[in-house]
Copies of this chain bind each other. A is one copy, B any other.
Amino acid sequence: MSATPYEALTPETVAARLGDIVAVSAHAGPSETWQVSEVGDGNLNLVFIVTGAAGQVIVKQALPYVRLVGESWPLPLKRAFFEYNALIRQAARAPGMVPEVYHYDDAQALVVMEFLTDHVILRQSLMQGIRHEGLGGLLGLFCARTLFRGSDLSMNTAERKRDLARFAENIELCDITENLVFSDPYFAAPMNRHTPALDPIVEMLRGDRDLKVAAQHLKAAFANNAETLLHGDLHTGSVMVCGDKARVIDPEFATYGPIGFDVGMLIANFLMAACAVPGHLADTAEQASYQDWILATATEVWDNFAQEFTHLWRNERKGILYQSTLFEDQNDVLGAEQARLDRLAAIWRDALGFCGVEMHRRILGLAHIAEYDQIADETLRARCEARGLMLGRALVIGRETIRTMTDVTDLARSILGKDYL
């Protein structure tokens, strides 16, 4: 199949084209038993569920353009290469937290992977008021393990530099992040959209010099500070959940960047979900209670990230940075701890900044989130979005002084009942 030129799959062609691949039929059964449906609801790709006599698999294939926009916005097929390479690294660094890859075809830009039975996209749960026990803990662990183990704190640096060179080719997807997250939301870029009632707030934010400068500092950090291999798009639409289980999917935006990026983007999506609760749950007591759960989950993400980062710092710090030769081996444990706290403080500060800009771009930019978009009442939607915008600004501007997740959730609670319109 690799010799065949790229051709987009259809539900009708999947069996003929993938039926002979043992890695696939081993999981789905013989191709004559397959039923195939296309379920891609993301912005970029084709996604098929293949159901056969032996089970189910997911087939994800890149399209040569942005699905959300169409053929007018070409996008390289090579993103499948980066997704595949990120998935196998994440599987090694955070075992059990990403779908298992069964098959990768470079020419067809497709990955065949584990079907996550009964899992749903986390955003669905967040709109339905469903609680997932331990979710924040799992996601915090995922962040710490992938981000620490992909950095110069842990990796052989020659291997890291080679990997950095490989992922530096993920130019077009980085370009999307660089523009859509850090720049477009802060001026009237052509692809932006927002709920019209937000106009006054949008005007205020786009005239906010400190905010724009800060967003650009964050863009510089994202574009230049290649600390670790990021997931690169770690929002609640990239998390699948089932009860107390969770998996992280869709790392095609993987790139080397600052550790705080994934953590901050993830927390942003919880904070926005909390802002959107009044659009999905009718009962006000249940609204408050569910917002509490979401904020507690965001807190768990950071707390478990920091705790596992600390554990890995103390036990797996084998890279070129902060070598034990200089600290523990000199009987200077406190030196290593002091350095760890400095690093965590820097990651925290970065994370707050990335969190804030993510909240802005999901309300003002091209790619919005279901939690807001599915609020049909436009006034209510705008009210919920306005809270996200204002909270986002507070986090970006306050990133040097806000110290704990308690500060963050206090800020969130202080505006959840407020009407900015």
Which residues of A approach B to under 8 Å, CB–CB? 151-152, 157-158, 161-162, 164-166, 168-169, 171, 174-175, 178-179, 183, 186-187, 206-207, 209-210, 212-213, 216-217, 219-220, 223-227, 320-323, 325-327, 329-330, 332, 334-335, 338-339, 342-343
Contact residues in B for A161 (Cβ distance below 8 Å): 168-169, 171, 174
The answer for the CA separation of A215 and B296 in the assembled complex, in Å, is: 37
Given A161-B169, A165-B169, A342-B213, A183 and B224 contact (CB-CB distance below 8 Å): no
A216 adjacent to B322 (CB under 8 Å): yes
Given A209-B338, A326-B216, A175 and B157 contact (CB-CB distance below 8 Å): yes
A178 adjacent to B320 (CB under 8 Å): yes
Chain copies in complex: 2
The answer for the CA separation of A219 and B187 in the assembled complex, in Å, is: 36
A332 adjacent to B209 (CB under 8 Å): yes
Contact residues in B for A223 (Cβ distance below 8 Å): 152, 157, 320-321
Given A326-B187, A330-B187, A342-B217, A335 and B226 contact (CB-CB distance below 8 Å): no
Interchain Cβ contacts under 8 Å between A and B, 12 examples? A162-B168, A178-B320, A183-B320, A183-B323, A213-B335, A213-B339, A216-B321, A216-B326, A219-B320, A220-B322, A220-B343, A224-B225
The answer for the CA separation of A152 and B320 in the assembled complex, in Å, is: 26
Given A152-B220, A321-B219, A183 and B326 contact (CB-CB distance below 8 Å): yes
Contact residues in B for A169 (Cβ distance below 8 Å): 161-162, 165
Which residue on chain B has the smallest CB distance to residue A319?
B223
Given A183-B326, A209-B332, A225-B225, A339 and B217 contact (CB-CB distance below 8 Å): yes
The answer for the CA separation of A332 and B209 in the assembled complex, in Å, is: 8
Given contacts A186-B326, A212-B335, 7 further A-B contacts (CB under 8 A): A161-B169, A209-B332, A212-B332, A216-B339, A224-B226, A224-B227, A225-B226
Q: Which 3 A-B pairs have the closest CB atoms?
A: A165-B165, A165-B168, A209-B335
Q: Most chain-B Cβ atoms within 10 A of its Cβ — which of A207, A216, A330, A343?
A: A216
The answer for the CA separation of A326 and B166 in the assembled complex, in Å, is: 31
Smallest CB separation, A90 vs chain B (Å): 20
The answer for the CA separation of A332 and B216 in the assembled complex, in Å, is: 14
B171 adjacent to A158 (CB under 8 Å): yes
Contact residues in B for A178 (Cβ distance below 8 Å): 157, 320
Smallest CB separation, A341 vs chain B (Å): 10
Contact residues in B for A179 (Cβ distance below 8 Å): 320
The answer for the CA separation of A339 and B335 in the assembled complex, in Å, is: 33
Smallest CB separation, A38 vs chain B (Å): 32
Contact residues in B for A164 (Cβ distance below 8 Å): 164-165, 168
The answer for the CA separation of A217 and B153 in the assembled complex, in Å, is: 12
The answer for the CA separation of A239 and B178 in the assembled complex, in Å, is: 37
B168 adjacent to A321 (CB under 8 Å): no
A338 adjacent to B165 (CB under 8 Å): no
